Chain A
Amino acid sequence: MTNKRSGHVILGINVLVLGYLPAAWKTSLLAKDAFIDPDYWANIGRTAERGTLDALFLADGPLLGDPAYDANPIRLEPTVNWGQVATATSRVGLVSTASSTFNDPFELAERLLSWDHQTGGRAAWNVVTTRGVNAARNFGMPDIPFRDDRYDRAREFVDVVRALWGSAATGRDIDFHGEFFDIKGRLRVPPSKQGQPIIFQAGGSPQGRALAGRVAEGVFAAELTKQQAIEHYRLVKNFARGNGRSPDDIKILPGLLLSLGSSEEEARRRSDDIHDAGPPSYSIAWLSQAIGYDASTFALDEPFPEEVLGPVKDSQTFLGSIGFRESIITQIRKTNPTVREYLKQTRYTGSGHAGFVGTPEQLADHIEDWFHAGAIDGFNLQPDRLIDGLPVIVDELVPILRKRGLYRHAYETETLREHFKAASPTPSF
Chain B
Amino acid sequence: MTKPYLALGLAGPHLVELTESRTLLSRWDALPVAFSVLGIDRIDGSLPASVTLASSAAGATLAGATKNGRFLIAAAPQRDHPYNIARRVVSLAHLSHGRSGLLIGVRDAYAPEGPAAGPAWGGAGLGGGAPLNAQTASDAAFAVRALEQGWPYDSIIGNRETGILVESNRIVHVDLNSTFSIAGPLNAPAPATGASVIAWHAATVADLPPADADSPIDLMLGNAGSVPVVALGAEPPAGRFAGILLRPSLEQSVGELLDVAERWLGDGFASIPPGGTLRNALDLTEPPPLAPTLRAAFPAPKPHVSL
Interface stretch, picked from A85-93, A288-296, A322-330, A376-384, is A85-93
Tell me whether B182 and A185 are in contact (CB under 8 A): no
Interface stretch, picked from B184-192, B220-228, B229-237, B286-294, is B184-192
The residue of chain A having its C-beta at the shortest distance from the C-beta of B162 within the complex is A69
Partner of A62, one of B48, B87, B180: B87
User: How many of chain A's residues touch chain B, expressed as a range?
Assistant: 35 or more
Q: What are the residues of chain B within 8 A of A141 when measuring CB–CB? A: 126-127
Q: Mark B256-268, 1 if CB is under 8 A from A, else 0.
A: 0000000000000
Tell me whether A88 and B64 are in contact (CB under 8 A): yes
- Minimum CB–CB distance from A232 to chain B (whole Å) comes to 31
Interface stretch, picked from A277-285, A306-314, A351-359, A395-403, is A277-285
- Residues facing B in A57-72 (CB within 8 A) are 61-64, 66-71
The complex places the Cα of A25 from the Cα of B16 at a distance, in Å, of: 38
Tell me whether B301 and A63 are in contact (CB under 8 A): no
The complex places the Cα of A68 from the Cα of B151 at a distance, in Å, of: 12
Q: Mark B155-186, 1 if CB is under 8 A from A, else 0.
A: 01110100111111001000000001111111
Q: What are the residues of chain B within 8 A of A88 when measuring CB–CB? A: 64
Q: What are the residues of chain A within 8 A of B255 when measuring CB–CB? A: none
Q: What are the residues of chain B within 8 A of A140 when measuring CB–CB? A: 126, 128, 180-182
Interface stretch, picked from B28-36, B109-117, B209-217, B240-248, is B109-117
- Minimum CB–CB distance from B219 to chain A (whole Å) comes to 22
How many residues does chain B have at the interface if contact means C-beta atoms less than 8 Å apart?
75
- Minimum CB–CB distance from B129 to chain A (whole Å) comes to 10
Tell me whether B95 and A118 are in contact (CB under 8 A): no
* B88 contacts the other chain (CB 8 A): yes
Tell me whether B158 and A87 are in contact (CB under 8 A): no
Known contacts: A76-B94, A86-B64. The answer to whether A26 contacts B163 by CB under 8 A is yes
The residue of chain B having its C-beta at the shortest distance from the C-beta of A123 within the complex is B57
Q: What are the residues of chain B within 8 A of A343 when measuring CB–CB? A: 307
Interface stretch, picked from A5-13, A104-112, A211-219, A240-248, is A104-112
- Residues facing B in A224-271 (CB within 8 A) are none
- Minimum CB–CB distance from A68 to chain B (whole Å) comes to 4
Known contacts: A62-B83, A343-B307. The answer to whether A70 contacts B50 by CB under 8 A is no
The complex places the Cα of A118 from the Cα of B17 at a distance, in Å, of: 11
Tell me whether B183 and A106 are in contact (CB under 8 A): no
Q: Which of B112, B164, B182 has the most CB of A within 10 A?
A: B112
Known contacts: A32-B157, A36-B188. The answer to whether A64 contacts B16 by CB under 8 A is no
Partner of B94, one of A38, A139, A276: A38
* B123 contacts the other chain (CB 8 A): yes
* A348 contacts the other chain (CB 8 A): no
- Minimum CB–CB distance from B90 to chain A (whole Å) comes to 8
Known contacts: A26-B163, A64-B171, A68-B165. The answer to whether A83 contacts B80 by CB under 8 A is no
The residue of chain B having its C-beta at the shortest distance from the C-beta of A63 within the complex is B187
* A162 contacts the other chain (CB 8 A): no
Tell me whether A117 and B57 are in contact (CB under 8 A): yes
The residue of chain B having its C-beta at the shortest distance from the C-beta of A184 within the complex is B112
* A337 contacts the other chain (CB 8 A): no
* B239 contacts the other chain (CB 8 A): no
Tell me whether A185 and B112 are in contact (CB under 8 A): yes
Q: Mark B290-302, 1 if CB is under 8 A from A, else 0.
A: 0000000110010
Known contacts: A181-B125, A189-B52. The answer to whether A280 contacts B19 by CB under 8 A is no
* A413 contacts the other chain (CB 8 A): no
Given contacts A102-B83, A104-B81, A139-B182, 14 further A-B contacts (CB under 8 A): A31-B158, A32-B165, A69-B164, A74-B189, A79-B88, A86-B64, A102-B126, A107-B84, A110-B111, A118-B19, A139-B83, A140-B182, A276-B306, A278-B306
The contact sample of 28 A-B pairs, CB cut-off 8 A, is A25-B165, A32-B157, A32-B158, A36-B95, A38-B64, A68-B165, A68-B167, A68-B298, A70-B165, A76-B91, A80-B63, A80-B95, A83-B64, A84-B61, A86-B60, A102-B81, A107-B54, A110-B54, A110-B111, A114-B54, A117-B16, A139-B83, A141-B127, A181-B125, A189-B53, A190-B51, A343-B307, A344-B307
A-side residues, CB < 8 A to B, are 23, 25-26, 31-33, 36-38, 41-42, 61-64, 66-71, 73-77, 79-88, 101-107, 110-111, 114-115, 117-118, 134, 137-141, 153, 180-185, 187-190, 275-281, 283, 340, 343-344
A-B residue pairs, 9 tightest by C-beta: A83-B60, A32-B158, A87-B64, A185-B112, A280-B307, A68-B301, A114-B57, A140-B181, A114-B54
